[in-house]
């Protein structure tokens, strides 16, 4: 039987300053791991390395001998509207970063044993009739196409590197994620149902997003391929948006019809708010991960 006892790892993180990356780096360092980060500005410490994905190669020595590389780099999808130029940035920021890391691994004398690379629930498209296990086939749509190419870029890592792609759902946490646009609207008394409200949102608490990545990086040696990062409870969007209003003690009076969302956000409305994805975290649970938040309402409550 494989030894699953966590030990100190040498871990390189790309996308370390983001909504997920910041608490992830903190959690890894608190657990005693040796963490270095890739930054796009001038490096300010011995634990940072500057990089420019898509513009210049990454020094292979930076990945050489690392136990784990974690790739969370990519432009936010919550910046609206999705102009043609920003669509290109959403795609290129992910693919270029992944290609740059993979090429450095190919050039390294001792490539990392494990590559954890980002993906998202958007890979499944709109699938209201399906229960989506980790290995479910990609769907259709802009985000599905981006995620499919993103995962393929990660899977091009050299032989001997175990690759895990993190199909992250709707992240609930302070300071960003799914609640960032909902909270100010709800505080202003404009909270309400989005479309029918019956679309499945594959939610996950930020604490569990971070905890799951730490677990996969340090204590799940049998896991490879796509992994659904979503909470164990199936929840529709209306349950989450209504709970935000309840926690803020604000009215929940409005129902924004689908056509109005599409008029305001164009196809981003379908991709971000109206698509339905009932994701099941089978691999994560089978690998021994224990969720801190098993109910979506508890994750929302913790934010407030």
C-alpha torsion 127→279→147→122, nearest 10? 50
Beta carbons of 177 and 210 less than 8 angstroms apart: no
Average pLDDT, the chain: 94
pLDDT at 33 over 70: yes
Other C-beta atoms lying within 10 Å of the C-beta of residue 233: 15
Which positions ≥6 away from 186 have C-beta within 8 Å?
A: 241, 244, 245, 248, 250, 252
| Mean pLDDT of all residues in 37-55 | 93
Say what the alpha-carbon torsion angle 303, 175, 121, 73 is, to the nearest 10 degrees.
-150
Residue with tokens 């390395």: 49
| Helix (H), strand (E) counts: the chain | 11, 14
CA nearest to 236, candidates 187, 280, 193, 198? 198
Report the side by side order of strands in the sheet with 203-205: 176-177, 170-173, 203-205
| Mean pLDDT value across residues 275-298 | 98
DSSP 120-158: EGGGG-S-TT-EE-TTPPP--SHHHHHHHHHHHHHHTSP
Radius of gyration of the chain (CA): 19
120-139 confidence digits (pLDDT tens): 999 999 999 999 999 999 99
Confidence of residue 5 (pLDDT cuts 50, 70, 90): low
Predicted confidence at residue 6, as pLDDT, reads 63
| 187 pLDDT tier (thresholds 50, 70, 90) | very high
Residues 97, 71 contacting (CB under 8 angstroms): yes
Residue 6 φ then ψ, to 5°: -60, 135
Domain topology for 10-303: Rossmann fold (3.40.50)
Tell me how far apart the alpha carbons of residues 87 and 75 are, in angstroms, rounded to a whole number.
Answer: 10
Q: Does residue 291 register a pLDDT over 50?
A: yes
CA–CA separation, 229 and 117 (whole Å): 12
pLDDT band at 177 (very low <50, low <70, confident <90, very high): confident
- % pLDDT > 70, the chain: 98
Percentages of the chain per state (helix, strand, coil), in multiples of 5: 40, 20, 45
Q: Which residue has the tokens 């802009």?
A: 142
CB 82 within 8 A of CB 37: no
Are 22 and 29 in contact, with CB atoms under 8 Å apart?
A: no
């Amino acid at each position: 039987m494989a030894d699953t006892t966590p030990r100190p790892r040498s871990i390189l993180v790309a996308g370390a300053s983001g909504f997920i990356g910041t608490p992830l780096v903190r959690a890894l360092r608190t657990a005693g791991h040796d963490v270095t980060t890739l930054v796009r500005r001038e490096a300010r410490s011995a634990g940072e390395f500057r990089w420019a994905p898509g513009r210049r190669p990454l020094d292979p020595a930076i990945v050489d001998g690392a136990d784990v590389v974690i790739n969370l780099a990519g432009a936010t999808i919550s910046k609206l509207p999705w102009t043609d130029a920003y669509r290109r940035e959403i795609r290129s920021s992910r693919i270029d970063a992944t290609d740059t890391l993979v090429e450095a691994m190919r050039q390294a004398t001792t490539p990392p044993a494990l590559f954890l690379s980002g993906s998202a629930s958007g890979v499944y498209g709109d699938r209201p009739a399906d229960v989506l296990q980790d290995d479910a086939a990609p769907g259709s749509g802009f985000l599905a196409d981006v995620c499919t190419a993103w995962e393929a870029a990660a899977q091009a890592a050299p032989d001997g590197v175990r690759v895990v792609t993190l199909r992250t759902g709707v992240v609930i946490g302070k300071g960003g994620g799914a609640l960032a646009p909902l909270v100010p609207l709800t505080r202003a008394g404009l909270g309400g149902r989005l479309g029918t409200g019956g679309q499945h949102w594959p939610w996950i608490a930020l604490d569990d997003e971070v905890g799951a990545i730490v677990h996969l990086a340090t204590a799940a040696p049998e896991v490879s391929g796509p992994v659904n990062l979503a909470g164990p409870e199936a929840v529709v969007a209306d349950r989450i948006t209504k709970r935000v209003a309840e926690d803020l003690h604000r009215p929940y009076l409005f129902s924004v019809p689908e056509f109005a969302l599409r008029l305001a956000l164009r196809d981003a409305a379908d991709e971000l708010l109206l698509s339905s994805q009932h994701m099941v975290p089978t691999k994560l649970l089978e690998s021994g991960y224990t969720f801190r938040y098993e109910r979506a309402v508890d994750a929302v409550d913790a934010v407030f």
